[in-house]
Structure 1
Amino acid sequence: MTFTNTFKRKACRVIAALAAVACTMSLAACGADETGKIRIGIKFDQPGLGFKKSGTYVGFDVDVAKYVAKKLGYSEDQIIWKEAPSKQREAMIQNGDVDMILATYSITDERKKAVSFAGPYFVAGQDLLVRKDDNSINGPEDLNGKRLCSVTGSTSAATVKEKFASEVQL
């Protein structure tokens, strides 16, 4: 392993820890419901981030949520996990269905008008997945006139259309 890779890993860990602390501080006002539990929204369908596997919740978002809940004074058995599909995340917060959501949610100016953010706690890039034998797509600008799929409520496809390929079919 090179020095650069080691440094990057340590830097990522420090950033993640600082972001988790920021989440904790900004969520200190989150209160338990009458049962003494905290309701946390996550995605159930993203392996590595938030995934429901045989009734158990696993992934980075789950680990961060457990850490923040612990810092707020909750044990793991006091967490009520709620599925937070992309399109429903804002409504779940606004309606009080959950106390917080950790579910791959891009921070945008438009979203800041609807909900408060305590992050970012994870910074990820986005990429295109194309068939191996398709040489016609080498970047987002090559998507004009082509079909692009993405998760409902995600900002990824809208960003491609807005910044790179205005004629892409969503």
Structure 2
Amino acid sequence: MSNDRYSDDQMSGRDSDKPMSATEQAFANMTPEQRSEFVERAQHASAKAAHDEKAAKLRAQVAAATEVSLAGNAWYQQQQRGTLSQRVSISNGVTKVEQLNAPAPESDSSAFAVPPRALVDTIPVTVGGIQLGPKQAREMYERGEISANDYGAGLDEALRPYGYRFR
């Protein structure tokens, strides 16, 4: 009795009555070395795709964790809102701390008795219980829509936390 009970097509899982595709024909015409190299390339491509997918998932996890961490970081939130009172920078191993929105000395003889224009141009002014942007308030004052006393009082109130007085 012969061991050729099954044909080669039956052992390979192929139906003998279906024609070979171009890829199957090319694979069948390869030498054993070419086949093994082809299989190794396919395995390498599969491993690389799995590695890239794993790395992308890890980057997404790190990004999500960073967002959660920053959302709970009070210093970062203050920096984003612009309410931070200090800016710390490190350059060439030297730490530099800058005071932001630092109050000026209270004395009228100080060189800082007059508020800097940059500060006046960034502070909202409340006039008659309505908060106006700095540019809008100044333009309304210049057009005469707001009296000098109301504008000065509103600006005075806005500058007080910084240690300046407008009048």
Tell me the TM-score normalised to structure 2 length: 0.24
Could you say which structure has the greater relative contact order, defined with CA pairs below 8 angstroms and 6 or more residues apart?
1
More helix by share: 2
* Larger Rg, first or second structure (1 or 2): 2
Tell me the TM-score normalised to structure 1 length: 0.24
